[in-house]
């Protein structure tokens, strides 16, 4: 493109930042405007194009192609940006599409790249504002290389959960910034008219941090509840398991590990679990075929998928009281099925009609009010449902919550296998 044409673009405002080259000392000493331009991608491309058009070889322009930039963008980068992007393409961060509608009302803090960056910078989000052009969480959501010159995480500070308990799990703190309950169970669970027990009552889509600590579900009076070794003993918590490199390689498949964050994916048309983080503690960890359909949250209620592969860890007790000790995740699914199942015989379908036989939530249409124990059972069921690990994050707490919730609706249920 001729230099005169480029100058016209700059004058028209299309490439204003391109006329502001970085200082030779690199991004760490750039102005805020330059940093913002780098994050949008306009400064780097624009400056280099202008330099080519004008024949400029000044130190300022050479600074754009400094060693710091080459850490990511060089032929032999220090940080595997392209490899990370390959696995990111298979992540829910990339694929779930929530940024397009969850870009205001405070939801943008976790559902958009722009909102999360604002939260890390200001410590809060204004729920009255919205992100005009939201984008999915991506590289620059968790990392700030153009500000820091490294791929350090934006934040690893301990996270205060909504019930004021603390999650402090190393690098996993960044994950916990979003993967936590939006409701304080102590405030949400009480005697309520049915119309207030809506499909949105509960943890809201991601109580993994709460689950690992063992907090913020409805804890029935007089009962004791336990925390998880995965929280207390695994360095960097979420990151160590969900991003671990299978068999010491970057990945068995781009669907598993790395920046996909997935523990399961397809390898040569076979469902495969990433057990590479597990074996550091569980030496013989393998995967096995699951025996039960897996309950999955849906906006209308519950749907079922599977059976899926499970981690081959046999439960110490027959938690669901079906006469056999199964793999942990199948035992937890058995407990969940005692509340809501595809046959329509769960306690929340018969003892208390909160779901119909198809798993659609109908509880808000009931005539009678609900007691705190009944609301608490619903809260706990959704809490476990939306944790999605079926006991892996915190088996003790999961089984305690489900056992107590079933017993609250069906006092005849045998609770003798409940962990103490």
Omega prior to 307 cis, within 30 of 0: yes
Q: Which of 158, 150, 149 is nearest to 177 (CA)?
A: 158
Using DSSP, state whether 377 is helix, strand or coil: helix
Tell me the pTM: 0.84
Please check whether residue 340 is in contact with residue 355, taking contact to mean a CB–CB distance below 8 angstroms: yes
The residues facing 64 across adjacent strands are: none
For residue 224, what are its two tokens? Answer: 């004791």
Please check whether residue 342 is in contact with residue 409, taking contact to mean a CB–CB distance below 8 angstroms: no
pLDDT of residue 288: 96
Question: How many Å apart are CA 302 and CA 361, to the nearest integer?
Answer: 8
Question: How many Å apart are CA 119 and CA 122, to the nearest integer?
Answer: 5
| pLDDT tens profile 146-200 | 988 899 999 999 999 999 999 999 999 999 999 999 999 999 999 999 999 999 8
pLDDT of residue 246: 73
Entry field: residues in the chain: 420
pLDDT of residue 66: 77
Question: How many Å apart are CA 87 and CA 332, to the nearest integer?
Answer: 30
pLDDT of residue 13: 39
Question: How many Å apart are CA 146 and CA 154, to the nearest integer?
Answer: 12
DSSP state of 153: B
CB neighbour list of residue 13: distance below 8 Å, 6 or more residues apart: none
Q: Which residue has tokens 């016209």?
A: 8
Using only the alpha carbons of the chain, give its radius of gyration.
25
Question: How many Å apart are CA 296 and CA 305, to the nearest integer?
Answer: 7
Question: How many Å apart are CA 359 and CA 354, to the nearest integer?
Answer: 9
**Four-residue CA torsion sign, 314, 248, 261, 185:** positive
> Residue 122 — φ and ψ, nearest 5°?
-105, -15
Question: How many Å apart are CA 296 and CA 117, to the nearest integer?
Answer: 30
Which residues of the chain fall below pLDDT 70? 1-65, 247-251
- Distances in Å between the Cα of 102 and the Cα atoms of 39, 96, 137, 177, 178 are 22, 11, 12, 17, 13
pLDDT of residue 317: 98
pLDDT of residue 65: 53
CA dihedral 244, 250, 254, 259 (to 10 degrees): 50
For residue 307, what are its two tokens? Answer: 């059976």
- Distances in Å between the Cα of 195 and the Cα atoms of 159, 243, 300, 366 are 33, 42, 16, 8
DSSP state of 296: E
pLDDT of residue 249: 64
CA dihedral 337, 340, 346, 350 (to 10 degrees): 180
Q: How many beta carbons lie within 10 A of that of residue 417, not counting itself?
A: 17
Strands 159-160 and 166-167 come out as antiparallel
pLDDT of residue 17: 37
pLDDT of residue 193: 98
pLDDT of residue 334: 98
pLDDT of residue 19: 34
Please check whether residue 318 is in contact with residue 357, taking contact to mean a CB–CB distance below 8 angstroms: no
pLDDT of residue 306: 87
pLDDT of residue 164: 97
If residue 273 lies in a helix (H) or strand (E), which one and from where to where? strand 270-273
Please check whether residue 52 is in contact with residue 72, taking contact to mean a CB–CB distance below 8 angstroms: no
pLDDT of residue 170: 97
């Amino acid at each position: 493109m001729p230099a005169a044409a480029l100058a016209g673009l700059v004058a028209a405002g299309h490439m204003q930042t391109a006329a502001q080259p970085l200082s030779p000392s690199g991004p760490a000493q750039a102005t805020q405007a330059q940093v913002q331009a780098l994050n949008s991608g306009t400064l780097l491309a624009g400056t280099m194009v202008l330099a080519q058009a004008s024949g400029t070889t000044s130190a300022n322009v050479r600074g754009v192609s400094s060693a710091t930039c080459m850490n990511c963008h060089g032929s032999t980068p220090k940080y595997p940006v392209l490899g990370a992007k390959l696995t990111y393409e298979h992540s829910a961060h990339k694929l779930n599409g929530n940024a397009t509608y969850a870009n205001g009302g405070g939801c943008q803090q976790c559902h958009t790249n722009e909102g999360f960056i604002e939260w890390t910078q200001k410590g809060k989000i204004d729920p009255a504002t919205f992100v005009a052009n939201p984008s999915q969480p991506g590289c620059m959501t968790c990392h700030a290389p153009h500000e820091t010159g490294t791929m350090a995480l934006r934040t690893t500070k301990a996270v205060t959960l909504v019930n004021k308990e603390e999650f402090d799990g190393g690098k996993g703190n960044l994950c916990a910034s979003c993967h936590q309950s939006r409701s304080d169970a102590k405030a949400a669970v009480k005697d309520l008219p049915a119309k207030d027990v809506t499909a949105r009552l509960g943890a809201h889509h991601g109580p993994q941090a709460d689950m690992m600590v063992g907090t913020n579900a409805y804890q029935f009076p007089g009962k004791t509840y336990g925390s998880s070794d995965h929280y207390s003993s695994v360095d960097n918590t979420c990151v160590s398991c969900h991003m671990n490199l299978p068999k010491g390689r970057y990945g068995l498949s781009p669907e598993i590990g790395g920046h996909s964050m997935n523990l399961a994916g397809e390898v040569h048309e076979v469902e495969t679990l990433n057990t590479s983080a597990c074996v550091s503690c569980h030496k013989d960890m393998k995967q096995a075929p699951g025996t039960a359909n897996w309950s999955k949250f849906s906006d209308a209620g519950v749907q079922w998928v599977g059976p899926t592969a499970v981690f081959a860890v046999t439960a110490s007790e027959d938690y669901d009281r079906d006469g056999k000790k199964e793999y942990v995740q199948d035992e937890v699914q058995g407990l969940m099925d005692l509340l809501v199942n595809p046959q329509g015989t769960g306690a929340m379908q018969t003892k208390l009609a909160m779901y119909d036989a198809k798993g659609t939530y109908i509880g808000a249409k009931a005539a009678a009010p609900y007691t705190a124990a009944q609301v608490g059972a619903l809260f706990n069921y959704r809490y476990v449902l939306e944790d999605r690990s079926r006991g892996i994050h915190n088996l003790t707490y999961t089984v305690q919550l489900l056992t107590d919730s079933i017993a609250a609706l069906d006092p005849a249920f045998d609770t003798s296998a409940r962990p103490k």
